[in-house]
Chains A and B, each alone.
Chain A
């Protein structure tokens, strides 16, 4: 089979030389030389999806510097790379792109799965509906580097193991080379390994002598017994309330009630507006509003001079099994106040007006709610899914979402 993935010419040389006496040794030497060169000039692809990418960058930067291992020229295009380090989680939407990237790389090509996510899904193995549980479900992986994320040193070790693999793979007699060339040239990895083993052996013998001498000098010595770590006890402290930034709750609610008399506090309906201040300075105003007044109220809250809620923090939804709640959180950069507005929606075919005309930023938030909860926003300029593929079945953040093909349920 000759040198796996090598060019046709190299294969041909092997075939020709094989016939002559002693030729096989020459072939072995050529094969060794080619794989040695290949192992020491890996060109990685710039590919990182999540946290592990940071450690990959750290491995490539000043302190750890993977250029020492010949892994220097990080390429942005797969057509010039021969190593892909799967740094980070791979999700369904990215899966096709990853396979394309792998196919675009010229052979021989190698894959390192870095971190738990690329190995098996890691912390996102259970309950998640979008994560592919391991890079090897898509492309063949050569070396697995465990960790979440692995240290740069771990990645460097993974690269060294890959180099070891490359040096041996595809050769007819992977381990025979040392018979051909008595001393392997420039195989620093093996040399260092042997050196360390010799040093350790030497140290062990020194230690053994020292231990024996110690026993002769102190015949009554007994090693101390391991003790249980004393568990430190901490006091239970009461929480200090934060400085009253939300003292305006009462005024705000009164201002709202003046314009919209049919609103009430969420889950506090028995409390009158006079006593909003009783809920303390840390209480976040959480107002339940009727669906018809939704748009008008958001407009009012933004433009009223007393309220001036000028920044939309988030727009989200909660699935209460029997109905949905749309939750809008607004912030005032003028008086540092935040408040929630919530609006109840029926379970079947939930829909509400969009507030993109008031806050441009609501556009993506609404798309997210549409994607994950299936709530439509009437008049939205671009009502598409934002995170998931267009053909994804169902809306995953609904409580009744079930998809056994994608989700592995946590068994405890």
Chain B
């Protein structure tokens, strides 16, 4: 057998050598880019021995749209809507991260009401994103009911956003200095209603899925990532916190007025799939806590500071970081004067989180890869940008 010829036909990117032994049961399996459990267009190539995973190689780029190149030819204000399309499940938070960088560059302040709006909207967005993740996570593991339950409560929050800015998904709401429009009068009553509704719903979710013995069997001790590995891969968000490292930008480097609210950062112990799942559920409770405090002390006043016709950043580089529903999103802007940025780089949390997949999946069964993917909670357009 011509080994060289065989080697040339092997899939790309594998570290472990191909087993030429005739008794070996090793084979390769393609998964994606069109696959329901990859949440979009991620492609994985798995090397299996029977049903056990030997190595996983993710292939990216099936939705690489060149956002960073497009951004170089648009003005700073025009770029806000492009940040929506990074991680479309936390688009408000992406907007905020971008606006914070511009505010830092130009020294723009935000009135107190504007800051309250920011915090409340971001927390609502976080809950909304987690609700969708919860539904899809259940569905990936074969529980279709959770999908319908998660979407039911999610629509309540989507309705608030719709009334707020007219959009359901790609908001384009925040501006440097606040937001482009004030919240409607119905905002606070509706948030109160959603809080009540969510408290009931979260109990229901826990009964339905968290305490379900089949679900626990499928997630406990699956895909364990220790803290040293998590740090080495640059994981952030609940993936890092599940491994026992307490790092949340809202707490450790508070932006907006997060330092005025009382909330905890839940931390996991083992770093397995169930820890990541539990953490997200607890994060929703913490977000509700923040919302409750904000609703009580929601101030009157202007919602934004002075508008500018154009935003021209002085020469230099500016960086801001925010905690999205998935982890740390960094926005790095290089300005060379003029109305357009010289270069923009988004530090996407999912990119690094997904990199840890191979380490987590090795040794598990192929069905567990789906579990790990579900609890990693990534959005592929943010990975590819």
CB distance from A138 to the nearest CB of B (A): 14
B65:A130 contact, CB within 8 angstroms: yes
User: B134 contacts the other chain (Cβ, under 8 Å)?
Assistant: no
With A129-B69, A239-B103, A361-B352 in contact, do A313 and B168 touch (Cβ < 8 Å)?
no
A314:B40 contact, CB within 8 angstroms: no
A123:B81 contact, CB within 8 angstroms: yes
With A316-B345, A336-B253, A364-B355 in contact, do A49 and B41 touch (Cβ < 8 Å)?
yes
* Interface size of B as a range: 35 or more
CB distance from A312 to the nearest CB of B (A): 5
The chain A residue sitting closest to B306, CB to CB, is A236
A149:B169 contact, CB within 8 angstroms: yes
Please, how many angstroms separate the alpha-carbon atoms of A3 and B151 in the complex? 39
The residues of B that contact A396 with a CB separation of less than 8 Å are 66, 69
A149:B170 contact, CB within 8 angstroms: yes
| Size of interface on A: residues with Cβ below 8 Å to B | 84
With A49-B40, A387-B384 in contact, do A333 and B231 touch (Cβ < 8 Å)?
yes
The 8 A CB mask of A357-399 against B (1 = contact, 0 = none) is 0011101110000000000000001101111110000001100
B381:A51 contact, CB within 8 angstroms: yes
A336's contact among B135, B252, B317, B352, by CB below 8 Å, is which? B252
Please, how many angstroms separate the alpha-carbon atoms of A389 and B84 in the complex? 26
The chain A residue sitting closest to B33, CB to CB, is A97
B317:A360 contact, CB within 8 angstroms: no
Interface centre among B74, B158, B254, B384 (most CB of A within 10 A): B384
The 8 A CB mask of B239-269 against A (1 = contact, 0 = none) is 0100001110000111100010000000000
The 8 A CB mask of B1-31 against A (1 = contact, 0 = none) is 0000000000011010000000000000000
Please, how many angstroms separate the alpha-carbon atoms of A54 and B61 in the complex? 20
A386:B151 contact, CB within 8 angstroms: no
B302:A313 contact, CB within 8 angstroms: no
The 8 A CB mask of A82-100 against B (1 = contact, 0 = none) is 0000001101011001000
The chain B residue sitting closest to A100, CB to CB, is B34
Please, how many angstroms separate the alpha-carbon atoms of A286 and B334 in the complex? 13
B63's contact among A49, A310, A319, A385, by CB below 8 Å, is which? A49
CB distance from B307 to the nearest CB of A (A): 7
A131:B110 contact, CB within 8 angstroms: no
B107's contact among A45, A124, A238, by CB below 8 Å, is which? A238
Q: Which of A146-197 contact B (CB under 8 A)?
A: 148-149, 151
Label chain A's interface by main secondary structure. loop
A51's contact among B85, B233, B234, B305, by CB below 8 Å, is which? B85
Residues of A within 8 A of B (CB): 45-51, 53-55, 57-58, 61-63, 76, 78, 88-89, 91, 93-94, 97, 101, 123-124, 126-131, 148-149, 151, 232-240, 242-243, 245, 267, 282, 284, 286, 310-314, 316, 318-319, 327, 329, 331, 333, 336, 338, 340, 359-361, 363-365, 381-382, 384-389, 396-397, 409-410
Residues of B within 8 A of A (CB): 12-13, 15, 33-36, 40-41, 60-66, 68-70, 72-74, 81-82, 84-85, 88-89, 103-104, 107-111, 132, 135, 147-149, 151-152, 155, 158, 168-170, 177-178, 229, 231-236, 240, 245-247, 252-255, 259, 302, 304-307, 316-317, 319, 321, 328, 330, 332, 334, 342-343, 345, 347, 351-352, 355, 380-381, 384
Q: Would you mind naming 24 contact pairs between A and B with Cβ atoms under 8 Å apart?
A: A50-B85, A50-B381, A58-B151, A62-B149, A91-B64, A93-B61, A93-B62, A93-B64, A124-B66, A127-B73, A128-B70, A130-B65, A234-B305, A235-B305, A238-B109, A239-B109, A243-B254, A312-B234, A314-B330, A338-B319, A361-B235, A361-B352, A384-B13, A386-B61
